[in-house]
Amino acid sequence: MKFTKPYHIKDYKFNLVILVIAISVIGIVAVGSAKEELQGRQIFGVILGILVMVVISLIDYVWILKLYWLMYAANIALLTLVLLFGKNVNGATRWLAIGGFQFQPSDLTKILTILFFAKFMMKHAEEMSNKKIILECIGLMLPSLLLVYMQPNLSTTLCLAALFCALLFMGGLSYKIIGRTLAVVIPVGVIFIVIAIQPNQPFLKDYQQERILAWLEPEKYADEEAYQQKNSLMAIGAGQLTGNKDSTTSVKNGNFILEPQTDFIFAIIGEDFGFVGCCAVIILLLLIIIECILIGMKAQDRAGQLICGGVAALIGIQTFINIGVATMLLPNTGLSLPFVSYGLTSIVCMYMGIGFVLNVGLQPKKYQ
């Protein structure tokens, strides 16, 4: 079987490409505003991402999904290598360094998870409400979750868990099972939070517990764990409608936000471009999600639907968490804002996901 097909240019979803490039341009400007010396690398990452997207968009996803077990094994191998030989930064081991190049395998894990379960769930489409298949799915997902959690990387672990739940739902999980699961998960989640904020709790590291406590009692931790988020809110508020033009009152210029080019890039957008800029970012990301869903609705098979839905869910989950942290709706985590935050691995992996969506769009139902 060939890895390409005779595609039609009219089926190429240029509107999705334009939306992704538009949000990436905003990201380049925001990263340059946060840390000017990183803007060049951000531009390089976007260009590399676009090239990767175009190449992947022309490769038949059906052919790629035939290698789904190989992708699964490669993912587990990479995450294991991180724990064995990874680069430690600020107490966390999340990076693999090869020569002068380093990347974060957990970002690639998100895309490989979508591809693997797209194929797996399509093969078991008629059995997705079978307890055996559900347990098998959970069993296959657990190694990735545990390996990422051990880095430690709780935020990405939660993102992967949410992505997996979204894939299960889209894969055809029975509403009865969903209802029963929620009836158990919600009380357990509440109990977990109650235990997690107690002294000497066994689940979280000290800094993770402090982030939850700072979220629950921001005034008590105003000079410690809540410091970043409170300054993020100040920056967003200072932007008002169209952005703060007074450099003397800039939260960003005062260096009150650490890592503004990644976790708190939304605060930089809020301060520089105001309410208008924040809305533009949210609307662009929402349009990208909607476009992915619309392409998935016309996919030729269940796997194509799950790829598009999975990429849409991933973008939505990361956007919600990143903006939720910047606006203090959620505890402080380390997730990037898709296509906007600085980070070559994150940008390229997101563009990979869009590349697969574009290939699904090149093979609509009429080609069956």
Angle at 203 between CA 197 and CA 204, to 5 degrees: 70
- Kindly report, residue by residue over 326-357, the tens digit of the pLDDT: 888 887 777 899 999 998 999 999 999 999 99
For 319, residues 6+ apart whose C-beta sits below 8 A from its C-beta are: 282, 285, 337, 338
What is the Cα 342 distance to its own chain's centre?
13
Single-letter amino acid, residue 343: G
Residue 241's pLDDT is 87
Closest CA to 155 of 70, 94, 227, 232: 94
Residue 128 · residue 121 · CB < 8 Å:
yes
- Kindly report, residue by residue over 63-115, the tens digit of the pLDDT: 999 999 999 999 999 999 998 888 877 667 788 887 767 888 999 999 999 99
Low-confidence ranges of the chain (pLDDT < 70): 1-2, 90-91, 100, 196-198, 200-227, 246-256, 366-368
DSSP string, 119-161: HHHHHTGGGTT-HHHHHHHHHHHHHHHHHHHTTT-HHHHHHHH
Residue 261's pLDDT is 85
pTM given for the model: 0.90
Residue 367's pLDDT is 43
